[in-house]
Amino acid sequence: MRGSVCLMTKEQRQWTADRIPELDGRVFVVTGANSGLGLATTRALVRRGGHVILAVRDVEKGHQAAVDAAAGRPGAEPEVRHLDLADPDSVQAFADGVRADHAHLDVLVNNAGVMALPRELTPWGHERQFACNHLGHFALTGLLLDLLAAGRDPRVVTVSSVNHRKAGLDFDDLTGERRYSPMGAYNQSKFANAVFGRELHRRLTDAGSPVRSLLAHPGYTASGLQMKSSSALQRFLLGRVGNALLAQRPKQGALPQLYAATEPGLEGGLFIGPSGAGELRGDPKEVVLAPAAADSATGRRLWELSERATDVRYAFPAAV
């Protein structure tokens, strides 16, 4: 048995946001919090009393999302802070700002993502999907780890995808210079999320840190990402047809990451996803990580590459 997930009864598996415990005094950072899964996650946390820092690229939309989330909890005052995960300077500035105003964090939800973009390199030479979805979250987590270690029941929840099982890491061509497909690069970035979450768990455990690393994925959720694909065919098939016929709403899709972030007693290293057929929809449960994503050699290699790419070195604080 690994945590409470394996022993759930049928009734317990029907987990909704109403079962989140009261979160008064707990501080959460949610990346990509202004829409889709991030907004659904923020709403649920705020309505249970959590203080949420919305980490967003578009501050105006972030403020609108904060007003939306606070409507369900009188007296709630979510924070909005700018964060561009593809920009190392923005990641550093965000972390510095949070540290200046908060003595601790309790949970970091690495939720933000981009999907199926045309090939583009950031000014730092990284493929944009890999930079936004993985490298930015790697750097952010490392820069906030000491604040998390000071938190209560501290956790890092990294959002991957069921598509991580379709991918690997081409360490010799991470920029897609030799071969590139928008969806293939997305799948690779989600595989990197999975590898990172598991490798972070190993390192936290070895250090005796109080922080736990968990992974989650939302199944097939109409989050808005599908309509931002560079392919008109994918926008039609995944966005219009798939979202209308197959996808669950963000409120449901956010449940695995909410469960991973808030359910008492969960162990580090768990991967939480939907319980339905193909893990496309359904109530949250423990699911299986692709064996390749759990490979320790791959984890070490990605970690070392990410350190070089971001210039962020983790200091693993031990339990006090």
Angle at 114 between CA 110 and CA 117, to 5 degrees: 155
Residue tagged 């209560």 (tokens): 152
Q: Which of 186, 220, 259, 314 is catalytic?
A: 186
Does an H or E element contain 245, and which? helix 243-245
CA dist list (Å): 158 to 37, 109, 113, 268: 13, 6, 11, 12
Does an H or E element contain 99, and which? helix 88-101
What sign results for the dihedral spanned by CA atoms 294, 113, 222, 226? negative
**Contact, 139 vs 124, CB < 8 A?**
no
Record the tokens describing residue 234, joined without a space: 């994918």
Look up 186 and say whether it is catalytic.
yes
Give the 3-state secondary structure percentages of the chain, helix then strand then coil, rounded to 5. Answer: 50, 10, 40
Query: What CA–CA distance (Å, rounded) separates 268 from 58?
Result: 32
Strand-pair category, 284-286 with 79-82: unpaired
* Phi, psi for residue 142 in degrees, rounded to 5: -65, -40
Query: What CA–CA distance (Å, rounded) separates 93 from 118?
Result: 28
The residues that are catalytic are 186
